Structure 1
């Protein structure tokens, strides 16, 4: 539930800052973007905590230390463990806008869902593949329930039994977007949950040293009762996910494979990372890797 609480916290902070900006004139938001760009002298796309405070203070805004902490955790350059903030993502969120990449991916996701009520749309989602479910933070059914509640609230003025509109779908995901520090992570979440064909990524013909079938066979030897190969692989990867984010570093993936009885070189691992879904730190999504290895084994 930590991620959901964090989203609620950052929404509260953004709402307060947004109201103050609008009271001073909405043009100040574009001025803030330009000021942050000037402060970003290294052109790295990030600002330190003190630099962020300086930018906001310049426009007459004086958030508390706790509020600055919420912003840094939500827009931090290393998913919560950094004192730097991705300032453009912050400014976009403050303006209520999605980045071009997120907006485009969201349109593809909406185009892939069936027309129908909130319940109909929710039934079509693969919420067991949502990052929170993959990491073991929540069950897939819990993520689905949160989606139903949030989307129903976004259907402002409409009955939840009416067809879900694009505006409601976008409104819901615009707030959820704040939980994903990078565009790639947000797009990967949409791809995993809604599986729109437009977001499908074609993989190279040779990947993972052509050892995919070997690993799949070893996974099959470890299945028990109702488990399938993907369940076994996800469990092994979670044990080596030191950051507990649903993403692993090359050496963590290599170690997990060795525990499963497969030796892979770092070159083979790095080739796989280059083709897969990664977070802002360059770590590989364990959900993506599990899908890649087990795609042909699960009906």
Structure 2
């Protein structure tokens, strides 16, 4: 798989290293997320979604702070206030958390985004913007998986574990959205310096 464990480890180590001399609040938060691996930013998104009781996709400062703390991010109140006001563009006391997560994603070139979306479209057989076990049936062969071969897992279990790679570690629902897929790969992308290498890696992993 393209988001290999090795990339994840390298990225987490790099992020932890960069954290020690980082002063920009957004970059600091981004690095704290990336130090948890590729799914770090997506995990924060899930923590916010759980907090969003009324489904408004907006958070006030109290919810924002609680979301950060629930996710285990170390951030002082003053720093959180500075962050919040950067995202509260219209000054109405709430922030749109989808917008927040997009800003938190490590910057990616259009070439990288294109190849990530090609991979997503290949997986999303039904074209409804969400990848589920059903989508995977014709695309991903579970029969080569060692745990399927030794009878430990069913085909569906192999599919589910595969989807869980892209799902947040805190709330796995067996569905992967375009945004989750992008968030995951923006994490992987952060550990790969060269566009050429990243695109090559995606093409060979997804047989594009």
- TM-score normalized with structure 2 length: 0.37
Greater RCO between the two (CA within 8 Å, min separation 6)? 2
Normalised by the length of structure 1, the TM-score is: 0.27
Report which of the two structures shows the higher radius of gyration computed on alpha carbons: 1
